[in-house]
Chains A and B, each alone.
Chain A
């Protein structure tokens, strides 16, 4: 019994360490003062008011949202057939190809962004925004493949064959029978990929420029110049939204098993 108490203690310490900072930041965001102090003195919502009124945050938020949705959607369209092939077919060279498709998750994001910048913007003259979208799509690709593969593995291949034996073409069977039954996997893939894109800094770092910036990059820029609780307020908003998404996704989809 003594042993399990020590284990429990380690578990509690770990959770205080993991979650404590989030609570600290939320408390600090209600400060009424200009300098970051903790515990904060006074209570106000002035920093929330300020966040909503800084235009750069608003425009970069939309930029992040649009980039995230577009990249996630593209990565899913490209990734679902790859996942389907991974689960359904055996063919020579399969291991090498699976490694190939997962490589964007192994190469450091900073290097991906840097290489894309050098390659496209300097060599081919592709607009920076397109580079941002392509870079995000590339790094989301392995996520969608992995999550969709996991949910396809739980899908009985016989169901698809039943549809084909009843007269569906393979393509029709996929849309009529396979897709509706891996819905939760698709949603999990969408959530994970979108959040990954929305939060990404390393890839975006090199693929932003005049008029093109994502919210996290804009926050980093702001932090270089100002040291007031504005970022606390913005971070709190982001944390609360993330908590809501993560909690419901875990409850409904068990998203942690896909990570």
Chain B
């Protein structure tokens, strides 16, 4: 391929998408980013960041958001790994049915999906009704608008993401390799930890990254299940912007959210086996 011809082809093919993203995606982000440092009389100021970062409520929400991600991700791994492993062992027909069920929570409207948890966790929901009728509880307990509710809701959303990532990673581990490990004297569990886990480690890191960053930026689930009582970074940002009309604080939170996700995204990628060697 002639270099000049290649260059022209690339410009023609990539140009429209590139220009679109520069104008309608990057410019707004850069604009918002720069604006967050602009002093009232010009110049650079960090006062907005200081103000937000020293704010007790913000600190509380920030820690809570990270904490929930730290709770959800390991649960997703513990439930996702064995499930994904078992799914790769199923006959294609059965596997296809289960796969379409796994992707259902990802494909369904988040509002519809989360609303179901109100029916389950609400004051007169399934859990409270069951527990009071059996006599374990005298009064319905408050399950909605708690951190627990958000954790449950987010887990339903992100567990499928973990399973999908792991299934595609494990599909690359051939049956023969596993059988070889078994024939060489590893037990089922031994071969799982010594063969399957290391070979699907890339997929695991990918899954953890997706779930962790997803938990931090999720909006609909904490908005419905946490409400204004249990705020996370994203619901706090929305509250600052649309309820309190505090655009400056919202901007700062937005920047902090991007930075947090980017750090996590690149930080977790560091754990790829190739990078550890």
A22 near B14: Cβ-Cβ < 8 Å: no
B120 close to A21 (CB less than 8 A): yes
Complex CA–CA separation, A245 to B18 (angstroms): 32
The answer, yes or no, to whether A115 is at the interface (CB within 8 Å) is: yes
Q: Is A225 located at the chain interface by the 8 A CB criterion?
A: no
Which of B110, B117, B213 is close to A201, meaning CB atoms less than 8 Å apart? Answer: B110
Give CA–CA (A170, B28) in the complex, Å: 36
Which residues from chain A contact B21 at a C-beta distance below 8 Å? 100-101, 103-104, 138, 141
Q: Which of B90-128 contact A (CB under 8 A)?
A: 96, 98-113, 115-120, 122, 124-126
Would A11 and B83 be within 8 Å (CB), given that A25-B112, A81-B16, A101-B21 are in contact? yes
For B105, give its contact among A4, A18, A112 (CB under 8 Å).
A18
B254 touches A238 (CB 8 A): no
Chain A 231-259 near chain B by CB (<8 Å), digits 1 or 0: 11011101100110111001100111101
**Are B31 and A115 within 8 A (Cβ)?**
yes
Q: Are A38 and B124 in contact (CB under 8 A)?
A: yes
Q: Which residues B152-174 have CB closer than 8 A to chain A?
A: 155-156, 159-160, 163-164, 168
**Number of contacting residues on A, CB 8 A?**
87
Residues of A close to B116: CB separation below 8 A = 21-22, 24-25, 235
**A24 close to B103 (CB less than 8 A):** no
User: Given that A101-B21, A238-B112 are contacting pairs, would A115 and B29 also be in contact in the complex, using a CB cutoff of 8 Å?
Assistant: yes
* Chain A neighbourhood of B258, CB < 8 A: 107-108, 111
Kindly state the interface size class of chain B when it binds its partner.
35 or more
Contacts of A185 in B (CB 8 A): none
Task: List residues of chain B with CB within 8 A of the CB of A120.
Answer: 28
A10 CB to closest chain B CB (Å) equals 5
- Asked if A38 contacts B119 (CB within 8 A), the reply is yes
Contacts of A71-99 to chain B: CB distance below 8 A: 77-79, 81-82, 84-85, 89, 91, 97
Given known A-B contacts A79-B17, A195-B107, A38 and B120 have beta carbons under 8 A apart = yes
* Interface presence of A8 (CB below 8 A): yes
CA–CA, A137 and B21, complex, Å: 9
Which of these binds chain B: A46-54, A157-165, A175-183, A215-223? A215-223
Those of B1-21 within 8 Å (CB) of chain A: 1, 6, 9-10, 12-14, 16-18, 20-21
- Please measure, in the bound complex, the distance between the C-alpha atom of A110 and the C-alpha atom of B29, giving whole angstroms: 12
Q: Is B186 an interface residue, CB under 8 A from the partner?
A: no
Query: Is B229 part of the binding interface, using a Cβ–Cβ cutoff of 8 Å?
Result: no
Task: Judge whether B28 and A115 touch: CB under 8 Å.
Answer: yes
The answer, yes or no, to whether A106 is at the interface (CB within 8 Å) is: yes
Contact call A206/B28, Cβ cutoff below 8 A: no
Q: How far is the CB of A236 from chain B (nearest CB, A)?
A: 8
Q: Tell me, yes or no, whether A212 is within 8 Å of chain B by CB.
A: no
Q: Does A166 contact B (CB under 8 A)?
A: no
Residues 197-229 (chain A) with a chain B CB within 8 angstroms: 198-199, 201-202, 205-206, 215-216, 219-220, 223
Within 8 Å of chain A (Cβ to Cβ): is B49? no
Is B220 engaged at the interface, CB distance under 8 Å to the other chain? Answer: yes
**Please, which residue of chain B has its CB at the minimum distance from the CB of A135?**
B24
- Given known contacts A81-B17, A205-B219, A235-B116, A119 and B108 CB-to-CB distance under 8 angstroms: no
Contact between chains at B104 and A243 (CB < 8 Å) = yes
Say whether B79 faces chain A, with CB atoms less than 8 Å apart: yes
20 residue pairs A–B, Cβ–Cβ below 8 Å: A10-B83, A10-B86, A18-B160, A19-B101, A22-B108, A25-B115, A36-B122, A77-B16, A78-B17, A108-B261, A110-B219, A110-B238, A119-B32, A138-B20, A206-B242, A215-B109, A219-B111, A232-B115, A239-B109, A246-B104
Query: Chain B residues in contact with chain A, CB under 8 A?
Result: 1, 6, 9-10, 12-14, 16-18, 20-21, 24-25, 27-29, 31-32, 35, 79-80, 82-83, 85-87, 96, 98-113, 115-120, 122, 124-126, 129, 155-156, 159-160, 163-164, 168, 188-189, 213, 216-217, 219-220, 223-224, 234, 237-238, 241-242, 247, 250-251, 254, 257-258, 261-262, 265
Name A residues whose Cβ lies closer than 8 Å to a Cβ of B: 3-4, 6-8, 10-11, 13-15, 17-19, 21-22, 24-25, 28, 35-39, 77-79, 81-82, 84-85, 89, 91, 97, 100-101, 103-104, 106-112, 114-116, 118-120, 123, 134-135, 137-138, 141, 195, 198-199, 201-202, 205-206, 215-216, 219-220, 223, 231-232, 234-236, 238-239, 242-243, 245-247, 250-251, 254-257, 259
Q: Contacts A14-B83, A37-B129, A119-B27 given; 7 further ones with Cβ under 8 A?
A: A89-B9, A101-B18, A109-B219, A119-B31, A231-B115, A235-B109, A251-B96
Nearest 6 CB-CB pairings of A with B: A235-B112, A21-B116, A119-B28, A108-B217, A115-B28, A250-B100
